[in-house]
Amino acid sequence: MRKRYDGALQMLEPVELLTNSQMALADTSTIASGIDEFDLVCSAAARVVNCIRKRFASHRQVVVLCGPGNNGADGYVTARLLRDAGIAVSVVSVVDAGKSGPVCTRARTHWGGQVTQHQHWQPDASTLVVDAMFGAGLSRALSGDAARWAENLRGANCPVLSIDVPSGLDGDTGVAEGVVVRADVTVTFFRKKPGHLLYPGRALCGELMLEDIGIAADVLTQITPQYFENTPRLWAHVWPAAHIEQHKYQRGHALVFSGPIHATGAARLSACAALRAGAGLVTLACPVDALTVVASHLTAVLIAPWADRTDFDAILDDTRKNAAVIGPGFGLDADTRDRVAQVLQRAASVVLDADALTTFESHSTQFVELLPQAAGQVVLTPHDGEYRRLFDCNGNRLERARYAARQTGAIVVLKGPDTVIAEPSGRAAVNANAPPTLATAGSGDVLAGIICGLMAQGMLAFEAACCAVWMHGECANAFGDGLIAEDLADQLPVVITRLKRQLQVDASS
């Protein structure tokens, strides 16, 4: 019997992701309100010690590697608290005495114990290492002793806890420019950073623990974050849950376009996913010669055959069909480009996926010029390969997704293990619940269908894309190992039921 799904919905987890400069502003605003900066350091250190007790209770020896800045200050106070708790702790500094910043110097005095500058320090498998060398604000690759220690830690069989981010990691992007500490646990404060969720940063952080150190949430009004973690808190308030008084025509009519007779499977995956996502009706429009194949595989999905442009237009003339998917298994030729243009000009909401993107590989200028002329909302769902065929941007994943959204005026879902959803204004969400089992043929077709099904129900494109990406990941988690694309839509009832139940609990609490 398959194990029952029991995934957490993270309804109470903060969704804002703060860049390094935004987190610095949060600190500055808190200090300006009358809270001493050193008190923040002490609060952070206390949270680190609590995490050590929870995760590494069996380790009675700790080495704290301290840098010259506030991250190092956290380390010194952590060491003091561990010593006071009766734990054997030693401190190793990456800089000589007198070369630390003022807060770190105060913390070093607070520690009061021996500080060694072991240039050739080697980790020991029996010791917990606390990495407090450099936090998220480091703007260069590690060098000198810090780089050597980070390299040695990677080859050692000892547990590592990093404070804020693993030293050497860019907190804004998750990019590692050189050697980076690989942590088993990372403790960060107030809000997560993009680099905690974007790969390779997410893998380097290990288990991420977000802790409150007394920074008030109202400082966010001064920061106006543009990046968010994609959890239900971001979009649940506009999710179109079914109501008893609704009939099917009030829940939208999704339209999925299929390719030729030998390639109908992708569109069928999209159509079934749109129906499972809650659309009241779904029509699959297919070439006449594919009608028999399509009809033999579908039951609840309606079918509309087309033979030429006139038939194609006639299907789009029905304005009750208020959201469309085109691309899965559709074909790669000039005819596909023409059909994409037709759909964009006529449909209220459109998802362009797979072939609808790839067919513009040698016509990227035409594609970019075509999108702003769309009649309604548009969502693009490229993976990295499809993205490179259309857009000339080599930045990190956040930058690439936002660039494409800005260029096209569309919502962009840049798919991957850390899928990024971006809108033209610059707002972006990073998804963090997708398991590796989603890397299977047809998975993206199901995602396109879920997005379409949600937009058919009236969800705006950005929120629909975020919701669909999250549900897609939860479906894979619900099924577990051995997943194939056909399994995903069948898990939507499980995921939706859990979501509704959690929202009801939150509403009553």
Is residue 24 domain-shared with residue 139, that is, in the same domain?
yes
Is residue 221 domain-shared with residue 261, that is, in the same domain?
no
Instruction: Kindly state whether residue 307 falls inside one of the protein's structural domains.
Output: yes
pLDDT of 6 strictly over 60: no
Is residue 462 domain-shared with residue 376, that is, in the same domain?
yes
pLDDT of 508 strictly over 90: no
Q: List, as one string, the DSSP characters of 34-67.
A: T--HHHHHHHHHHHHHHHHHHH-TT--EEEEEE-
- CA quadruple 486, 489, 490, 495: dihedral positive or negative? positive
Containing structural domain, residue 140: 16-225
Is residue 217 domain-shared with residue 163, that is, in the same domain?
yes
In this prediction, residue 264 carries a pLDDT of 97
Q: Which neighbouring-strand residues pair with 352?
A: 326, 380
Tokens for 484, please give them: 């194939």
Tens-place pLDDT, residues 226-268: 999 999 999 999 999 877 878 898 899 999 999 999 999 999 9
Is residue 202 domain-shared with residue 140, that is, in the same domain?
yes
Is residue 219 domain-shared with residue 291, that is, in the same domain?
no
Is residue 216 domain-shared with residue 259, that is, in the same domain?
no
Tokens for 200, please give them: 């390779």
Q: What is the mean pLDDT of the chain?
A: 94
Instruction: Kindly state whether residue 119 falls inside one of the protein's structural domains.
Output: yes
Instruction: Kindly state whether residue 6 falls inside one of the protein's structural domains.
Output: no
The β-bridge relationship of strands 281-287 and 253-257 is: parallel
Is residue 369 domain-shared with residue 499, that is, in the same domain?
yes
Share of the chain above pLDDT 90, in %: 87
Is residue 386 domain-shared with residue 255, that is, in the same domain?
yes
Tens-place pLDDT, residues 122-167: 888 889 999 999 988 787 899 999 999 999 998 888 999 999 999 9
Instruction: Kindly state whether residue 3 falls inside one of the protein's structural domains.
Output: no
Is residue 197 domain-shared with residue 275, that is, in the same domain?
no
Tens-place pLDDT, residues 421-446: 999 999 999 999 999 999 999 999 99
Instruction: Kindly state whether residue 84 falls inside one of the protein's structural domains.
Output: yes
Query: How many structural domains does the chain have?
Result: 2
Instruction: Kindly state whether residue 288 falls inside one of the protein's structural domains.
Output: yes
Cα separation values, 415 from 149, 354, 468, 469, Å: 35, 12, 12, 9
- CA quadruple 384, 390, 395, 401: dihedral positive or negative? negative
- For the chain, count helices (H), then strands (E): 19, 18
Is residue 331 domain-shared with residue 471, that is, in the same domain?
yes
SS3 for 378-398 is EEECCCHHHHHHHCCCCCCHH
Could you count the other beta carbons within 10 Å of the beta carbon of residue 340?
23
CB of 409 closer than 8 Å to CB of 371: yes
pTM score above 0.85: yes
Calculate Rg over the CA atoms of the chain. Answer: 26
CATH code, domain with 21: 3.40.50.10260
Instruction: Kindly state whether residue 2 falls inside one of the protein's structural domains.
Output: no
Is residue 194 domain-shared with residue 276, that is, in the same domain?
no
Instruction: Kindly state whether residue 273 falls inside one of the protein's structural domains.
Output: yes
CATH code, domain with 463: 3.40.1190.20
